[in-house]
Structure 1
Amino acid sequence: MQGESNLTIAPRGKDSILLVDGMALMFRAYYASAATGYIRRTKAGLPTNAVYGFMRYFWDAVQKFNPTHVACCWDLGSKTFRTEQFAAYKGNRSEAPEDLVPQFSVIQDVMDSLGIPNISAIGYEADDCIGTLATRFGTPNMDVLILTGDHDMLQLVSETTSVIIMKKGHGNYSVYTPQILMEEKQITPAQIVDLKGLMGDTSDNYPGVRGIGEKTALKLVLEYGSVEGILNHLDKLSKSIRSKIEADLDMLHLSRQLAEIRCDVELVCDQEACRLELNHAQVAAKFEELEMASICNWMGVAAANE
């Protein structure tokens, strides 16, 4: 296809929207390539290894899951409503690598060139934007697919929303529906939040109930159904478990709040604006600019000079 022609990805059955966890893809792409010791750069010295890797992950998922619509969600700074609730939230994380930082704006420019909306909201994380859009767009006429590497997203699984967890290597995924989540982990999406409230999350740096790990948390949730169910049956718990919960009751409730993905963020994102239609000339020009013309080949986009 030449020049200004558009390519619309052919739908498979009813419409579907792929909600991309941009942060997860960028960090995965950066570290996968940086581990080799080689950082891809333009002639001007701009690092582009994460951008290149992102496109490989992203386009592989587009080809495999064939969405009719796409939106890409991003964090917007480190301060969110969660850091206001708990100052140490994610406080254990190091700064992003120097070579990665400029690539966040570059990949968002790339998404713009693909006609894909970049979605973010002040005071919220990409997860909350994804949760909000999944709730908004998931209907009997539209399936939602969430592309991420973050297992916390499994709480968003529903009859209209599937979560695609990227595994090691390209093209390796675990796709979760409510049925698969129950078969594999014996829990419902809502119970993931209860688990996190009890056991905490070392990655996000909130403690949950001190002394209760994953095994005990899962046992309690399976037996009593939820945190409320556990608290209503404290008299049936062992003295040790009961005393731990009672000592950390406030942190239990706070940790559960921190774990829960918000689905009510005020976002401007029109469904039709997410329709996946590629303007070949625009896409090719962007990848020529980034000295990544090879991407055009495996995207099926005519190079700018053809």
Structure 2
Amino acid sequence: MKENKILLVDGMALLFRAFYATAMSNYYMINSKGMPTNAVYGFVKHLFTATKNYEPSHVVCCWDMGSTTFRTEMFPEYKANRGEPPVELVPQFDLVKEVVDSLDIPNVGLAGYEADDCIGTLASKYSEHSEVIILTGDQDILQLLKDNVTVSLLKKGYGNYAEYQHETFVKEKGITPAQMIDLKALMGDSSDNYPGVKGIGEKTALKLLTEYETIEGILDNLPKLTKGQRAKIENELEMLHLSRKLAAIYCGVDVDCSLDDAILEINRERMMEKFNELEFKRLESLLS
């Protein structure tokens, strides 16, 4: 029997990327009903290009379910630097899930968690018996790399990916995927709006992790650090530990999706009914 190949799609990453690819030139693909569809159209194009490229047996699409999560409860400033989504994108959040449903692809998400957490949870379950490919534009997901889990990062255009397996990541980055969590805890993440240890940048964080492997290893060897490094870490111990909790993808979300429900079998008639309703042209040709 052919081994399952499961494509886990970071729906939010694809949708935002597709939106901004055309929104920068004020092109929103507003149809005759007044509905902007540029993000959904581009999302489907990314999705179909990936299924053609990777030929998965199963596909699952994961979503954020609102901006309030367990991370914002721990640290209210988490992602607080991000403005409200553009008005042209807002109606496409629900619309894209309708389109995914019309393709008979499961939509998975749970309030209080991010899409990353759902992806991590499902990848952990599926990789025990199947090959898993995660399609995203978010480098944070690289921490999930392990045997049977590949991360495919979207690059500019369609069908261009930076693919990572555990070994290629270690070779390129010089640390393990799991050490990415401690790296972000030390240096912080400006896009997610948490500081880590003030004054510790990527170069220093990588050097410390290469030498001492983990945050615990660094803390056990504080006397060996430079006076400046030690002072910075000791002054920010609470934030260091909090940042690590924020950086770690949680893989114990109460979500599941049976592989029977995730088999990639698109009903073209149902798909075309939805595409015609939205006035999408030429997308179906990407499936042939």
User: Structure 2 length as normaliser, TM-score?
Assistant: 0.98
Shift of 1:299: 2.2
RMSD over aligned Cα atoms: 1.0
Q: Which residue of 1 aligns with 2:60?
A: 71
Which one of 188, 195, 202 corresponds to residue 183 of structure 2?
Answer: 195
- Name stretches of at least 5 consecutive residues in structure 2 with no aligned partner: none
Q: Which residue of 2 aligns with 1:165?
A: 153
Query: 1:92 touches 1:205 (CA, 8 Å); kept in 2?
Result: yes
Note if 1:117 corresponds to 2:106. yes
Query: Using the alignment, how far apart are the partners of 2:281 and 2:87 within structure 1?
Result: 25
Q: Which residue of 2 aligns with 1:272?
A: 260
One-letter code aligned to 1:271:
L
Which one of 273, 282, 285 corresponds to residue 294 of structure 1?
Answer: 282
Question: What SS does structure 2 have at the residue aligned with 1:278?
Answer: coil
Query: Using the alignment, how far apart are the partners of 2:28 and 2:36 within structure 1?
Result: 7
Query: Using the alignment, how far apart are the partners of 2:225 and 2:44 within structure 1?
Result: 50
Q: Which residue of 2 aligns with 1:31?
A: 20
| Structure 1 residue ranges, 4+ long, deviating more than 3 angstroms after superposition | none
Note if 1:88 corresponds to 2:77. yes
Q: Which residue of 2 aligns with 1:204?
A: 192
Q: 1:16-47 CA deviation, whole Å, 9 max, x = no partner?
A: 11110000001000000111222101111100
- Name stretches of at least 5 consecutive residues in structure 1 with no aligned partner: 1-10, 301-306
One-letter code aligned to 2:180:
I
One-letter code aligned to 2:230:
R
One-letter code aligned to 2:279:
E
Q: Which residue of 1 aligns with 2:229?
A: 241
Note if 1:58 corresponds to 2:47. yes
Query: Using the alignment, how far apart are the partners of 2:204 and 2:13 within structure 1?
Result: 29
Q: Which residue of 2 aligns with 1:7?
A: none
Query: Using the alignment, how far apart are the partners of 2:6 and 2:273 within structure 1?
Result: 26
Note if 1:176 corresponds to 2:164. yes
Q: 1:261-300 CA deviation, whole Å, 9 max, x = no partner?
A: 0000001311210110011110111101110132122223
User: Structure 1 length as normaliser, TM-score?
Assistant: 0.92
Shift of 1:169: 1.5
Query: Using the alignment, how far apart are the partners of 2:74 and 2:17 within structure 1?
Result: 28
Query: Using the alignment, how far apart are the partners of 1:172 and 1:294 within structure 2?
Result: 20
Query: Using the alignment, how far apart are the partners of 2:172 and 2:54 within structure 1?
Result: 22
